[in-house]
Amino acid sequence: MMHEFVDVSKAKELLKGLAISPKSHIIPLSQAVGKFTSNPVFAPMNVPSFDNSGMDGYAFAWDDLGESRKLAQVVQAGVNPDFTLEKGTAVRIFTGAPVPRGADTVVQQEWVTVIGDTIFFELEKLVKGMHVRKAGSQCQTGELILNSGTQVTPGTIGLLASLGIEQVEVISSPSLSIILTGDEIIEIGQALQPGQIYNANGPALIAYLNQMGIKEVKVLKVKDEKSEVTRVIGEALGASDVVLLTGGISVGDYDFVKGSLAENGVLQLFYKVKQKPGKPIFAGVKGEKMVFALPGNPASVLTCFIQYVKPFLLRILGNPDAWTAPAYFPIASDFNKKAPLTFFLKAKLDNGRVIILPAQESFNLLSFGIADGVVEIPQELEHVEAGSLVAFYPW
C-alpha cells in the first residue's frame, strides 16, 4: 500500500484499482441533466399509446378499395374519436391525432383533391399503413429504454417525459471537504499584509467541482499547527466522502499534513509522483473515504486535480469514461526538458495545434488566464519536435 515516488501511470493505475461503491438517490427529472442513471429504466407504458397520424391528411381503410372516399368527420389532435369508420368514407385528420377504428392508412393532404364532400387520390402512389404511427412503435411496456450508467442529457429528459416518468434514480454526487493549509493565506476582500497571499486554490477548486456538478463542498481553513491540522482532518473525514487538502504535504518544518493523515487512520496509496509540477502529491484511503493532499502552489493544485482528482470523482459520479485516454494534438514548436519527470504544461489549442504557454512555474497562474488545459510530456522524452502528437487534457 505504501507506494512512494511512483511514475504517473502507476499513480493512475492505483487509483483505477480502487473499489468504488457509488451511492444513489431519486431526483426530479428537471434536476437530472448530467447525472448518470444508477439502475436500468424500463418503459411504464406503450409509446405511442394509441395509433396516430404522422401527417395532416385523410385516414381511410386500405382494404376498402377505390380511389375516392366520402368525407365523414374531422379528427383533431387531443380528441378521442369514439366511432368506427364506415365503409367508403374517410376522415380529415391532423398530425398526432388518434386514427379511428377501422382506418389503417393516412394519405397526406398534398396528394388529395377535394370536391364537395368527396376526396380523390391516386392509389398507386400509396402504401398500406403509410403515415400511421402504431401504438408501441417507439417502445412497449416493460421494454428497456436506458441502461444503468447512462448520462442524462436533454434528449434523455425528453424520452423519459414522453413516458410520464417524473423522477429518475441517479448516482449521487460525493460530499467533499477542501482543507486549506498555510498561515500566509487570506481571503479575497481582506487587506493584504507583507508575507500574505490571497486564497486562489479554494475558489479554483470550487469552480472546477461546480463545473462537474458537485455542489456539496465544505471549505475549512487550518493554521499551521500540528494539533489543529490533525483535528480538522478528522472533522473533514467525518463529514465527507472525499477530502482535498492543499499545501503542507512536503517535508518542511511546518508541513504537518502527512503525519496528521496517518494519525487519523488514512492509509497511504501513494506519495510523490515523478512529475512536474505537483511532485509531492499524496493519495490515501480510510475505509470508503478518499483523501488527496495536493501541493500548495496553485499550478500544482490544478495540474494534480486534472490528472488524478477529476477522473477519480468522475468515476464516483458514474462516468464510465472517467479514465479514458486524452486527446492528442500536434505540438506547435519544439520542446526540451532535462529532468526525467513527466511534465504537465499549461497550454492552449490553436487551429488544432497545442501551444505551450509561458509562465510555467508552479506558483505562476498568469498563463492559466488563457490556457485551455494542460499538455503531457512523457517522463522518458527529453526532446519533442514540432508537429509531434502530445496528450492534451482540457479543463
Give all domains of the chain, ordered by start, each with its CATH number: 3-23+173-316 (3.40.980.10), 24-46+138-171 (3.90.105.10), 52-133 (2.170.190.11), 327-394 (2.40.340.10)
Q: What is the per-residue pLDDT across 320-363, written as a single tens digit (0 to 9) for each?
A: 899 988 999 999 999 999 999 999 999 999 999 999 999 888 78
Q: Which amino acid is at 315?
A: R
Q: What is the CA radius of gyration of the chain?
A: 31
Q: What residues contact 352, with CB distance under 8 A and at least 6 apart?
A: 329, 330
Which pLDDT does position 279 carry in this prediction? 94
Q: What does the pLDDT look like over 107-133, one tens digit per residue?
A: 999 999 999 999 999 999 999 999 999
- Which residues are CB-neighbours of 42 under 8 A, at least 6 positions away? 142, 143, 144, 145
Residue 139 confidence (pLDDT): 95
- Residue 179: Cβ-neighbour burial (10 angstroms; 0-12, 13-18, 19+): buried
Coil, strand, or helix at residue 255? coil
How far, rounded to the nearest angstrom, does the alpha carbon of residue 380 sit from its chain's CA centroid?
33
Specify the residue for cell string 473499489.
19
Q: What is the DSSP string of 138-179?
A: SB-TT-EEE-TTPBP-HHHHHHHHHTT--EEEEEPPPPEEEE
Per-residue pLDDT at 63: 94
CB of 303 within 8 A of CB of 278? yes
Q: How many CB atoms lie within 10 A of CB 52?
A: 23
Q: What whole-number distance in Å separates Cα of residue 8 and Cα of residue 283?
A: 13
Q: What is the pLDDT along the chain (395 residues), one digit of tens a residue?
A: 579 999 999 999 999 999 988 899 999 999 999 999 999 999 999 999 999 999 999 999 999 989 999 999 999 999 999 999 999 999 999 999 999 999 999 999 999 999 999 999 999 999 999 999 999 999 999 999 999 999 999 999 999 999 999 999 999 999 999 999 988 888 988 999 999 998 999 999 999 999 998 988 999 999 999 999 999 999 999 999 999 999 989 877 768 999 999 999 999 999 999 999 999 999 999 999 999 999 999 889 999 999 999 999 999 999 989 998 899 999 999 999 999 999 999 999 999 999 999 988 878 888 888 999 999 999 999 999 999 999 999 98
CB-CB contact of 261 with 243 (8 Å): no
Residue whose C-alpha cell reads 482532518 in the numeric block: 233
pLDDT (0 to 100) of residue 182 = 87
Give the global pTM.
0.85
Question: What is the C-alpha separation between 365 and 374, in angstroms, rounded?
Answer: 13
